[in-house]
A and B are shown apart, each in its own frame.
Chain A
């Protein structure tokens, strides 16, 4: 799941659960998660060993079968 889709679902869920104050924290978390994913190459994500791997910053954007 990419970050935008994740944030949209998490924010909607927080609303349903009556936790509107959670939304700014989720925004912060989204930025941290994006930064962590962006560091996949730096941390040598093992998928990088596959020649045809998806871009390392979004290895699972397409749903796997």
Chain B
């Protein structure tokens, strides 16, 4: 007969993998882990606004079932009994999907497939996280549930739109999160908060059961504290079968990386330049080869993106705008209204350009393991600020935050943001790796190697659990 749980938890595990190991060895129970996360939420959420819905009763019931199942000898894998969160843009049966809005929520009867996969892997859904309203923004100060505050500096944004997820991870409120990314909404908050966020290849993880922003550009992906944890979440979300050996199965030797300098390096704050340079130097010292290159048409990205995302968002929101215009945040409403004026001719023009951009990124990646660039041009901006200083210039916050990520939504290439250290302002900075389309597994393996080199080269990075 399997032995019962042998110890009580004395220290909060720092990573999903560590927590999973403790659960598998029955040194920490899923109920203890879940209670610890609920305690963190209770202590911090009133100020940080990371969660919209906390599913305490349901989470504890699922954790108790996991505990009994594992004690009986049925261990389903590294997500079994692990508390995770879901962005409140994604359907979880029986809980409202608010999308961060005062617009009446969806009341789903069924789980989104990505949630069903997590549950099949044994995960404990602990709650639904806050976001920039309807995922149409990068600062998360336009939400009906309170601006999401950055734990590194509570006067600053946690990024967006998957900001609540990033804060929840940073603060030890969960061990993995489901995010969505239409222009950078996983990678931007990951960079702003100092955690890891993966946008897989377009369409790899089903977006059914997710409130759409742009049917062409929406991606669903995982967020976690490390690349390894992100890989575990990715596989759980993909098919419900996370295993440690799925990451290590991808052998990685000396890497060939390309840095796309033109356009992407035109507007970066000094600390991004410094910390990216240190990360690059650490990788080169470790024997990896890094060259500079250019991506054709990259400077057209924002124009192409705008003419796809806005009309597609306006199509979904049209009926809601007719009925509930006054319930949207004013800025979100105006951006959606803008999409109603884009001509079909220009939408199709942007879709045509999208194909050329995809070929350009494919071409840039030829012979390389990945592209290497910063994930966010600035540290987390002050909440409510519409512009930010870069050098002597003032730049618009939203366009600046999207600048390094949105191309890879347009093209569908997988991309991951990894912390590369804290700036002198105490705010995290992050690098981004971009892989081949269909090569998310390989990208994760490359990212794990890069993460190790950055940590070795610059000391500990990223956020702890507090």
Contact = CB atoms under 8 A, between A and B. Distances in A.
A43 B353 contact: yes
B306 interface: yes
B303 interface: yes
Contacts of B300: 35-36, 39, 42-43
B344 to A, nearest CB: 11
Nearest to B296: A42
A54 interface: no
Given A19-B334, A32-B303, A39-B303, A60 B345 contact: yes
Interface string B303-314: 110110010000
Contact of B304 (A14, A19, A36): A36
A36 B353 contact: yes
B86 to A, nearest CB: 32
Q: Please give me the 5 A-B residue pairs with the lowest Cβ-Cβ distance, nearest first.
A: A10-B341, A36-B303, A43-B353, A32-B303, A35-B303
Given A43-B352, A60-B345, 19 more contacts: A14-B337, A19-B334, A21-B330, A26-B341, A29-B310, A29-B338, A32-B303, A33-B307, A33-B342, A33-B343, A33-B346, A35-B303, A36-B304, A36-B349, A39-B300, A39-B303, A39-B353, A43-B297, A46-B352
Given A37-B349, A40-B349, A43-B356, A25 B338 contact: yes
Interface string A14-57: 10000101100110010011011101101111100000000000
Contacts of B368: none
A45 B350 CA distance: 11
Q: How large is the interface on B (under 10, 10 to 19, 20 to 34, 35 or more residues)?
A: 20 to 34
Interface string B55-69: 000000000000000
Interface in B329-372: 330, 334-335, 337-338, 341-343, 345-346, 349-350, 352-353, 356
A47 B83 CA distance: 54
B302 interface: yes
Contacts of B302: 32
Contacts of B342: 29, 33
Contact of B350 (A1, A36, A44, A60): A36
Given A21-B334, A36-B304, A6 B297 contact: no
A29 B334 CA distance: 12
26 contacts: A13-B341, A14-B337, A21-B330, A22-B337, A25-B334, A25-B335, A29-B306, A29-B310, A29-B338, A29-B341, A33-B342, A35-B303, A36-B300, A36-B346, A37-B349, A39-B297, A39-B303, A39-B353, A42-B297, A43-B300, A43-B349, A43-B353, A43-B356, A44-B356, A45-B349, A60-B345
